[in-house]
Structure formats: C-alpha cells, structure tokens
Amino acid sequence: MAGRPHESPDTVSLDDLWWEAAGPPESAEDEAEGFITLGGQSLAAARFVAAAREQLGLKIPLTDLLRDNLSLAEVRRRAVPVRIPASAGGHRARTSSPLAPSQHRLWVLSRLHPESAAYNVVVSLRLRGRVDVAALRAALSDVVRRHDALRASVTDGPALRYDDDAQVEWEIEETGDGPTEPEVERFVHRLSAVTIPMDRAPMLRAALLHGPGAADGCLVLVMHHIVSDQATMDIVLADLAAAYTARSAGAEPGFGPAPSFAEHAETETRLVGGAAWRADLRYWRELLAGATESTRLPLAHTVAPSLRGADHDVSLGPEQARRVELFLRTHALTPAVLFLGCLAVVLTRWSGAEQVVLGMPVSRRRTAEDHRLVGFLVETTPLLLEVGRRSDLLDVLHHVRDRHLGAVAHATPTFDAVVGELDLSSRTLANPLFQVWFNDLTQGAPPPQLPGVEVSTQRVSGMAALFDINLYLHRDADGFRLQLIRAADRVRPEVARELLDQCLLVLDQVLTDASAPPDAVSLVTSARRALSPLRVTDPAPRPGDDGRWSPARALRGDGDQTALLTAEGRITYGELDAASERLHAGLTAAGVTPGQVVEIRGRRTAGLATALLAGWRAGAVTALTDASLPDARLAQQQELLRPAAVIDVPPAAASIPEVRAGAPDPRTLPGASHVLFTSGSGGRPAGVVVGPEPLGSAFSWYLAAFQPTAADRFVLVGGLGHDPILRDLLIPLYVGASVAVPREDVLADPAALLRFIADHRITVLHATPALLELLVAAYHAAPETRLDTLRLVISGGAPLTAGLVRRLRKLTSAAVVNAYGTTETPQVTACHQVLKRGEPAEQGLAHWPDDAVLPHGRGVAGNELLVWTGGDRDAGTGEPGEIVVAGPGIAAGYLDDSGPADRFFPGPGGRPAFRTGDVGRIGPDGTVEFVGRRDRQIDIDGHRLDLAEVEAAALRASAVAQAVAGTTETVTGTVLALQVVPEPGRTVDSQALRSYLSSLLPRYAVPAVIDVRRRLATSANHKVVFSDTRVPPANGGDRSPQSDRRGADTGTERWLIDLIADVIGRRIGLDEHFFEAGLTSIKLLQLHTLLADAIPDPPPATAFFEHPTAREIAALLAKAGGNGSPASLLSPSPQSTRATDRRRAVRAQLNHEREGTS
C-alpha cells in the first residue's frame, strides 16, 4: 500500500490477506460478498493468491476467484493446503544478469529508435506545501540503492549490469512566484520527452519544479520502460514516501532487503522452452489458429508506422461513473472487462468479422516476492475476442472475462514466442496480430503521502504511440476516464474521436440493457448524424445552359465543327447529323415505332454514335451490345430483348450501319431510354432498363461540375455495351466538343494508345483503373510521351488505389476524380476528387498508403449514398455495410426479372433506391469507402461478374457433372478459377472446356484456372463450396501433369512458363497466345513486374503486347542477354509460392543461361 514500504508482516491470516486485497469491510455482510463485488480487481487478486500460497500454504485458483466471484467463505471452502515454498533466504548480490525474456522486445525496439522517448514511464506529482529538497534527493538515492533494477544498465550482450555507485540525475528548477498550471504542464511535457540511454545506470531521471523556498511544486520521475512498469512505479513511490519521511526527520529509512530483479531475470530465463512454456504455446497456437493475421481495421492511413502519439480524452462524469460501479458490482465484473468489451464490440463491427484480436498487458508477477519487485514484469498478450458469436452484450462481457483469465493463466511465453509459434513475421512496429492496445490503469496505488505536503497526481499527456491505437483506462476524482493515444502520423484524429464516442454508445447500451445483441447497438454518433445526407450539393448549372440533356438535344455542335476523329478522317457535326437522320429514316421504314426496342450491335467506330442518335430520334429504346461477344452470348441477349430491329455497326467509319429485322414479336418498353446488360446469376445476362431521368440528371450534374466546352477533346475508350461509353460519346457531342475514336488494335496496345491520346491532345479521359495502369506502364517504357494536355481524369468501374494515382501523376498533372456507379445506377452516382489539377500527389495523398482503396466520396446528381447494416439500419462511421443508392439516378429495373428484383425498392422518403451489393464504410469526413461485395459477384479487371453465370455455362458442357467457381490467389493477386467434376465414366480436358466457355462467355468471364477434380468440397450444411486448397487434381486439369511446360525447350522458356503460372494459376503452352490463355492486360503488367525484379534490364511492358507468346518473350530475353546454352533447371521447393522465391529463381536461371559458354 502507498505510504509504507512493501514488506510482509510476520504473521497473517487468510482474513487479513483477503481484506487487504478487497478493501476493508464496511459491514458484517461483506464476508458473504464476492471478491469482485467488493471492488477487487485482477492485480489485487493475484497478490492475494500469491500471498495465501507462500505465507499460509493455501492454493486458491486465481481463475476461480475472478470468474466465479468467490466470497471469503467460498475461498475458505475451496482453498487446498499445499507445502509452503522454502524461503530463498538472503539475496546474493550480483553485478550482472541476463535480460528477462520479456525485456528482449523492449531492448530491440529501443535499439531501433535510440533517440525516441517512446519507452519512458513517467509519473508526475503535484506538491502543495514546503518540500525538503535535500531529504527528497536523499530519499530517492535510498530507493535506488535498495532496488537493483534501478541501478541497472544494458550491455551489448544484451545483458543487465548493476552499478552500486549509480547516481540519479536531478533537474531542479525554481519559479518566481510558484509554478502555474501552464508552467507545470510544459515542465512535465519537456521531461517526458527526455531520452534515457540504456547503457548508463540508473535508467531514471528526476526533476523538481518549485516556487520560492521550495513551497509548492511538481516532482517528475522518468524511468526507462525496460526496468519499469505501473506496479514498479507504485513501489518506488511508496518507498520514496517512506524514505522521505525518515530523511526529513533526520533518520535513515529502515528498509529491509528488497527482492532481486537479477534473480528474477535468471529464473524467468530458465523457463524458456520448459514444460510450462511449451504447454502455453500450444494453448496460443490452438486459440489463434484462425486469427493468424492482424484484422484490417479502418485506422491507419500512411505508409510508415510512427511512434509519435497524440492524445484524445473523454471522462464519464460522476453520474455515469455511478452507473458503471453499480453495473460492475451487480454483475461481478471488473472495469477492465467492461470497457474492453465495449471496445471489442466497436472494433468487431468495424472489422466486419466475427472476431477481433486486441493487445493487452499481463503481469508476470506470480509470487508474493514478485509483487514487491522493481523492474519490468509485464508481457504483451493477444486477446482473441469472438464477439460475433455472442448472444447478447452480457455474454460478450463474460467472454471477454474468460479470455482475459485464459491469457493470465497462459502467460509464460513471451509475445514474440507466440508470434513465432504462429509462424508470423514479428515486425517491430507493424504488429502482426493486432493494431489496438488496451491497458487498465485503474489498479494503481493512490498518490504517496509526504509529511507536511499535499500530494496529488499530475496528468501526463501521452507522447508516444507504440501501437496504432492505445486506449488507457484511468480512474480519477470524477470517475472513469478513457485516454486514447493514436499514432499521430497513421491515424486521423477524427477516427480516434469516433472510436471513443462509439465505445461510449456501447457502454450506455450495456448499462441500460445488457441483453441486447452486440450487432443491434447503433454506432451512429452525433458526429455521424451531422454528416447526413451523404451527398454533395450539386453545382449550379453552367451560365447559358438552357436545360437538361435529352436525346432530342444530344447534338449541339456547329455543322462544320469536328464531332468525331476516326482513323479514316474527321466527321463533322453536320455529317453526323445527316447520317443519323438517314438511319432514323431506315428504322421508320423498317416499322420501328416509339417505345420498341432496337438492338445496336456496337463496334468502336463512328457508326456507334450514328446508331444511338438514330434510335433515340425514332423514339426507340436502344439496347447497346458488344458485337465482339460470342455468338451464343449475343443470342441470349437478343432473346431477352426481343428487338423490333437490329442495327449492325460496321467496322469501318465510312460505312453505313445496316438495319435488319428483329424478333417477330418485338418488345415495347414505354418510358424507357435504353437497356444495358450486366452479369446475371442464372447463367444468363441480366438486362437493365434505364429511364430518361438517370441519364439526364447525371449529365446535367457532369456539365455543371466539370465545365466541358467545345474546346475539349474526349477519347472513346469505354467498354462496348457498358454504361461509361455513353459518357464518352454523349457529353462531348452535347457541348460541341470532339471525340477521338481509336481502332481496336490501338486500344489493345498500351504504347499505341498512349501515343494516340497524346497525339490527339485529349483533355478529358474516362477510364477504368486497369486502363490507367496500362497507360502508366506504357509511359514508363516511353517516358518522353506525356499527357500534358489532359486536364481531367475520371476513373470508375473498379476500386482505385492511391499507388496507381501516384504513378499516374508522373504522366499527367490532370485533376483525378474517383467515380462510383453501377449499371443499375447509371453513370456517376457518387464521386471523390482525389487530386486537383496540378496538385502534387504527396500533398493530396499524404494519408494514403499505395495499397489503400480511395473513397467513392458522396452522392452527386441528387443521389445519396446510404450504408446499411443488418435490418436496414444506418451504419456508424467505420462500420461496413451495404452501399445503397437513393435518388433520381436509379434504373427502372431488370428486364423480365433477369436479375434479383428485390434490389430495387422504395427508399427513404419514397425515393427510388437500389441495393448495390457493394460493401462500404463511411469515413470520418462522410465519404464512402469501398470494402468488398456481400454476394457472389466479383470484380475481374473492372468487369462485374456473377460466379453463378460461370458455373451455369460450365454445366452446359455435356461431360461436366458439377461445377463451382471462385477466385484463387497467385503471387500477383486474384484470378478467376473453376472447379469441375466429370460425369461418371467421362473425362474433362481443361483446355477444351476453356474453349467451350469462350464460346459462351465474355473473355473476362473465362476462368484462368480450371481444376478437374474427383469431388468438390462441401460445407457443414453439405452444400458445394469453392475450396482453394491444393487437393490432387484429376487428369486433364490445369494443375495435372499433362499441363506441365508444354513444348518448352530451354531453361528460360520453362522458367517463364512457371512464372506465368504464378500469375494466372496455371501453366500455358509455349505458343499459346497470352490473351487466349487468360493473361489480361493487368496480368501481363504483373508478369512484367516479376521479371523486372528478377533481371536487371527486362524488355518494356509493351513487349508483351507485341510478342504475345512465351516463346517470343523467351527469345527476347535470350537476345538481350547473348547466346548461351540451356542450363539445368533450378528446383525451388514445391511448397514455395512466394513472389520473392520465384523472382530469385528466375534471376538465377536467366543469369546462368546468359553466361552460357562464357
């Protein structure tokens, strides 16, 4: 207890130990109350259990005491007599000892950051009264002489060296009229930032700020964490008070011998690898088997971890503190369990998973002597909290209590040993298991009492953040206080404040009704409500703009102005208008009436614009399809459309589109504007019917937001049959601008496309992230080709990463906008400006690492983004939920229920709304960030694909009995995969099946990997599931022996084929065309990245498009390195799939071959 030395009395009873730990009784009834109900906590319980064993020979299970809230009477019944441990007698003085195992991590971290004060333990005491400075200095010297850890330094071994002559460094400063609060705060802040070297004893600094005559002041003690923890500081202060009392009276303190940290370190070292160590490691291995990677939480947003911290505080106030105390006593829980449980609920909801791993310190003070020992006796422990599996909030708290007790009971090994047992990389600042740390500081001793001086604790602001989020629970005069220290360079202040506010929301729900399910608690704070609605105010219409876009006003350039720039030449607005009128007349002659569907088989030529304009002029509902799709796919689309006529757009710009008859029973869609297709779940495409309002409102917003003019030049790069191509064409034609139309062969060649955009002086580019990656790669191959005329880049169709924008910035200074929309929410329904024109990437992306997916932003064009969790409730900030779009930009629905009709519904206020199936979370600034998908739809190179469509197509093959599609990971990312089981007695050849699927599906929907299996995996409910385990394939699969390096003659060819297999998940033939083999443009860029890491001067990325087979690329590599004879293959481990292993192997093989006979 504070105010007296930590000595044990000669004789004690169980009752004495009990009431010392639980606090003195207030009535006779207290004997029947449980330990926790009386206010006992974990550290007090540990001291009680240790003292009972060593002084009374009674074994009391710590876990039972805390979990079952045992009363004194129950302890008497459950206590088991054991032999009292023999006394070790006197402590032998030592000049050195090993570091205790728990100290090693601190030593490494301190060596890595020798100038950092992050590992300081600081206490600050406010002194009111006259202080005897000489007695205070002498008293601290007494304490240092008493405890060997205070006389320790660390050698390079590393080991501890103890110096009996160590002297404390003091800093004493006097103020003129007594220190003011601001002066005290500055004094404490400055001392806290002092770096304490480990190679000099003592690792302790003392400072005193006082007024004239030593009246009133502030005492600051700073100790290196490697020899200190909270309990140590309590012991030091208690001994300091006892020594000061004696010294100020002219006497010496009557200290007895103190426990030796040197002996403790040797004892702890002997535990390493022992039976208890190994048993506890098994416990952690089994417990954490399903959580072997840190849960990604929406916290950190910079590349490099930082130790610089920033403080955020919230106090509960007296009334809330009384509610907390009543709840804790009623349910026999500790404050740590309650607040840790609230934190776990919030973080589990943020993670979108059922469990979360948090870090927490556990005391290594096991014996009564340990509880009087000065030193570092704490170990970091990961707590796996499975909140999502708990029925209600009280169940969550019981689960947290049990997991905490399990951690205490299995705390023999160090955290690094646990990480090693899980085979995780023990990174020093990027923790492999958790990002958030919780520490209960409510169990510290009260301030020491000094004769003639009133002592109170002075708050120390946190200066260091050892983890991304560090949450400390304090108890002060007003009740409980939560102190959050965030990594200042990694975690935004808004995130920290939101986390604290949401924890308080959960706490209030617990105190009000703990029977509520943890996923039913609203995390919508007042700050979150203030962000609603999640849309931006649309800009005012452009001056002189006389109305909204409509098909009747789609062509507004002067007759002799250039509308389209094609390979055959330019087409003026007058020529385009005339051609559209002729085609309009042809549609009328074919009997097309308003409201009927007209299918446009699109190609990337001037005829596409002609066909769209003609169809709308005829009052028809245009349905844009891609003429390059497989015939079977086009037949499915036409069967669904039942068009009155079909317009075939010719491949040549000068040719006139042909009109041919459609279905005998043509469909009429009154009030519709057009139809587009997306992936369907029943093995067939889904038709999306769009009215005129979504296109009109989106285009009107676009015109006001980005101010396109007749001076702009656009480029037609959108996917045929996809929504963005309408933006590529219709926006520029409405403002009198021109559109450059590249040939398909130019679009397929990144270098040619980059030159095309530069040569045509394009100013506005609408592109997918995949296309932007290709342009960046082409620029790296030819850095003289920049896009200096580009003023605006709008990216959409897939997640956009900060790394891509940084790379793009080297190519152009254009403004970069991240746009969001789906086929069912046409055009742009939300956007986020990533960079302004000319803004440096390091400025606009300062808080985003390269792999971070940039926000979608907020709703635009009158649309609002909603993020809903279960039960259609608003999600809190940071909590993932389904993105719902509400507003005018919603399609009318699916054609003939070709898609799930319930995704369209009346939203808030009766507005049309659409459930996108995308999962997002709301950031602290109100922008929506993309997280993933909630259904079986995936994104493949910017194309949305329903896996059921792939499975249905595979089952149409006569030899396939079962099929399940999914994704599999390669060293460069995710690829589409298919697992099939043949019909009994039949065989399936993967290449033949791939060719068959190519006749039914778009290229992006053809699996890169096909595994032919004897059986498919099933779930616990016996449903077929995709399993990415490498089970032995049946003959004929991509991973069967028949697929191994077909035709490869040289080592380079074989290694190149193996490298391609790392990218797409299967080996290809030596002369198999890259695109036909499933190597998309993005995958080719990833393949080039692996080559660039393997060899010093690889061919440019564009070479893969010019030489599209493994044989041709291998020849390029051989030519670049000279003629050499083939070498024997290197044989990396078959279990090795790491990119670095493959890169080393490729580099070694190529170097060996290039040396050849030299």
CATH of residue 997's domain is 3.30.300.30
Identify whether 242 is part of a domain: yes
Do residues 88 and 266 make contact, with C-beta atoms less than 8 angstroms apart? Answer: no
User: Does 108 lie in the same domain as 35?
Assistant: no
Strand ranges (E), 389-533: 436-440, 454-457, 469-476, 479-487
215, 243, 265 - which closes a domain: 265
**β-strand 858-859 against 825-835: which pairing, if any?**
antiparallel
Let me know whether 415 and 288 are in one domain.
yes
Nearest to 917 by CA among 1006, 854, 825: 825
CB atoms within 10 A of CB 90: 8
pLDDT in tens, 93-114: 789 999 999 999 999 888 878 8
Q: Is there a contact between 794 and 965 (Cβ–Cβ < 8 Å)?
A: no
Domain that holds residue 125: 104-265
Residue for token digits 């028809």? Answer: 620
Supply the pLDDT for residue 531. 84
Any idea what the CATH number is for the domain that residue 377 is in? 3.30.559.30
* Same structural domain, 114 and 142: yes
What pLDDT does residue 511 have?
A: 97
Last-in-domain residue among 209, 241, 265: 265
Question: DSSP secondary structure string, 758-814?
Answer: HHTT--EEEE-HHHHHHHHHHHHH-TT---TT--EEEE-SS--BHHHHHHHHTT---
> What is the C-alpha end-to-end distance of the chain, expressed in Å?
80
CB 36 within 8 A of CB 332: yes
Nearest residue to 324 (alpha-carbon basis) of 527, 508, 159, 518: 508
Q: How far apart are CA 1081 and CA 1069, in angstroms?
A: 18
Same-domain check for residues 1061 and 1027: no
Q: What is the pLDDT, as a whole number, of residue 108? A: 87
pLDDT of residue 1122: 41
Residue 547, pLDDT score: 61
Q: Is the residue at 334 inside a domain? A: yes
**CA atoms of 322 and 314, how far apart (whole Å):** 16
Domain's final residue, options 501, 517, 533: 517
- Specify the pLDDT at position 305: 60
DSSP state of 943: E
pLDDT band of 1128, cuts 50, 70, 90 = very low
CB 690 within 8 Å of CB 676: yes
Sign (positive or negative) of CA dihedral 182, 183, 186, 187: negative
Asked whether residue 610 is assigned to any structural domain, the reply reads: no
**One domain, residues 1030 and 1051:** no
Residue 1012 counted as domain residue: yes
Q: Does the pLDDT of residue 1146 top 70, yes or no?
A: no
In a domain, 1108, yes or no: yes
Q: Pick from 1129, 1132, 1135, 1125: which is nearest to 1158 by CA? A: 1125
The answer to whether the CB of 390 falls within 8 A of the CB of 396 is: yes
Residue 1031: inside a domain, yes or no?
Answer: yes
Co-location of 416 and 481 in the same domain: yes
pLDDT at 89: 58
Domain tally for the chain? 5
431 within 8 A of 359, measured Cβ to Cβ: yes
Strand, helix or coil for residue 899: coil
Sign of CA dihedral 1139, 1140, 1145, 1150: positive
Share the mean pLDDT of the chain.
Answer: 86
Grade residue 1081 by pLDDT with cuts at 50, 70 and 90: low
The more confidently predicted of residues 896 and 92 is 896
**692-706 vs 724-735: helix crossing angle, rounded to 10:** 60
Q: Sign of dihedral through CA atoms 752, 754, 760, 765?
A: positive
CATH of the domain at 35: 1.10.1200.10
CA torsion 266-270-272-276 (nearest 10°) is -120
Q: Which residue in 111, 217, 227, 225 sits closest to 171, CA to CA?
A: 217
User: In terms of domains, do 277 and 363 share one?
Assistant: yes
b/e burial code for range 182-207 (CB count within 10 A of at least 16 → b): eebbebbeebbeebbebeebbbbbbb
CA angle 219, 223, 226 (to 5 degrees): 165
In a domain, 714, yes or no: no
Give dist(CA 573, CA 733) in Å, integer: 8
Same domain, 1033 and 1059: no
Find tokens 């909801």 and name the residue: 349
Answer whether residue 1123 shows pLDDT above 60: no
One domain, residues 280 and 255: no
CA distance to 646, 653, 990, per residue, from 626 (Å): 12, 17, 27
Q: What is the CATH number of the domain that holds 173?
A: 3.30.559.10
Range 297-316 average pLDDT: 75
User: For 408, phi and psi rounded to 5 degrees?
Assistant: -65, -40
Calpha distance 1053→1059 (Å, rounded): 10
Which CB contacts under 8 angstroms, 24+ apart, belong to 285-290?
Answer: 285/421, 285/422, 287/384, 287/406, 288/357, 288/382, 288/384, 288/418, 288/422, 288/433, 289/422, 290/355
pLDDT beyond 90 at 521: yes
Do 434 and 421 fall within a single domain? yes
- pLDDT of 972 strictly over 70: no
Q: What is the pLDDT of residues 378-421, one digit of tens each?
A: 999 999 999 988 999 999 999 999 999 999 999 999 999 998 88
On the question of pLDDT at 1138 being above 50, the answer is: no
- DSSP run (H or E) holding 328: helix 318-331
For the chain, percent of residues with pLDDT exceeding 90: 58
Residue 307 lies in a domain: yes
Query: 1140 CB contacts (<8 Å, ≥6 apart)?
Result: none
Give the C-alpha separation, 153 to 849, whole Å: 39
Question: Mind listing the pLDDT tens digit for each residue in 757-787?
Answer: 999 999 999 998 888 988 998 898 888 999 9
454 vs 91, more confident: 454
211 and 121: one domain? yes
- pLDDT, tens digit, 9 for 90 and up, residues 220-265: 999 999 999 999 999 999 999 999 999 999 999 999 999 999 999 9
Please say whether the beta carbons of 100 and 269 come within 8 A. yes
> What tokens appear for 144 in the block?
């240092």
8 Å CB contact between 1099 and 1113: yes
- CB-based contacts of 998, cutoff 8 Å, min separation 6: 630, 1006, 1076
Same structural domain, 1007 and 1058: no
CA distance 127 to 448: 11
pLDDT of 565 strictly over 60: yes
pLDDT tens digits, 845-860: 987 888 788 999 999 9
Cβ 340 vs Cβ 400: under 8 Å: yes
DSSP code for 355: -
Res. 1134: pLDDT tops 60: no
**Predicted local confidence at residue 307, as pLDDT:** 81
